[in-house]
Structure 1
């Protein structure tokens, strides 16, 4: 005897068995990339945006995290003096740290969003959501015009975290509360 659920699923499967997914047209890039717009939109989210040359990244990160205990992911392309390496730290360990330093995969000019695919230099998802400060280095050549351009650069099989400013919510009595779902402070170093 089949259940109602099984019967419905069997009907859905039969109805869609021969369906062919429509071919998706190739999309041309959306247009010129405006790195200044990206910086402006990130700042609109109350994140700190600091521009620097590639050779200044290590110095600027050091200045931002001076006196703090920060964790760094495997594959970070620069050293962070005094940092803690992520060797599978549990949430309580991450919560005891002041911040995290990562790179990014894509920055989206139109929305001011940073996307991590958790590859080298970006760490696992918990690493970027638990500490109170996230310092993220974004290269100008990683900035794209809009969301469709970003999606074209991303591997859909990889986990992704899309970050639009510091964590905030207005779920509780419509009052803005920061740090509920992630870092309270986002500091973006935008480099050439």
Structure 2
């Protein structure tokens, strides 16, 4: 037996001796006072606050006002060519087509085409209130990952019913077999002198619309 193995055996032996006769506390009995059970409206308010902390633009949309809010958000960033992925509600596409050069189907668009897109409008699958994180699993209305990384502006719609309290609850709502993108604010990085630069690895601008409507 090597010296390392002998020392390890000695240490483990001392641990066993120290624990002899003690009772193990079941994990379920450990108090977890850090977990709060917030009402739904408090969760929505919290996710809006946390998203805004990341220097993203966030707005709560009144019932029935989602389509108009999407158009206003795209107009507000000066977008001319916008993209709504396959599966986005037809009402969005109709409204976008009336005012912008709208790319309705992003399935076949290449990187060069994406670079000419000013803003992409997507749905989401989960919003995590405690961290302000938006999760996409790239299902209908969300498109493949490049669609939300190449354009300079991402307008993301999150339904109030999609807001989870914390990360564990958010993960329970996700399908682990699907690809996932976790978004906490616009893309940002900093150099060694801590000078913040946005838009390096993804959208420079993130605009989140939180709505009681189902996208």
Does the Cα contact within 8 Å between 2:128 and 2:165 map onto a contact in 1?
Answer: yes
Distance 1:68 1:106 in 2: 28
Please state if 1:65 is matched with 2:74. yes
Q: How well do the aligned residues superpose, as a CA RMSD in angstroms? A: 1.7
User: Which one of the candidate residues 76, 88, 96 is aligned to 1:76?
Assistant: 88
**Aligned counterparts, 1:107-122, within 5 A:** 107-122=127-142
SS at match of 2:83: strand
Displacement after TM superposition at 1:108 (Å)? 0.3
Does the Cα contact within 8 Å between 2:107 and 2:143 map onto a contact in 1?
Answer: no
Displacement after TM superposition at 1:172 (Å)? 5.0
**How many equivalent pairs are there?**
165
More displaced 10-residue stretch of structure 1: 88-97 or 77-86: 77-86
CA deviations over 1:106-161 (Å, ceiling 9, x no partner): 00000000000000011110001100000000011100001000110000100000
| TM-score for the superposition, normalised by structure 2 | 0.73
**Aligned counterparts, 1:31-180, within 5 A:** 31-32=37-38, 33=40, 34-66=43-75, 67-77=79-89, 78-80=91-93, 81-82=96-97, 83-85=102-104, 86-180=106-200
Runs of 5+ unmatched residues, structure 1:
1-24
Which residue number corresponds to residue 181 of structure 1?
201
SS at match of 2:185: coil
| TM-score for the superposition, normalised by structure 1 | 0.81
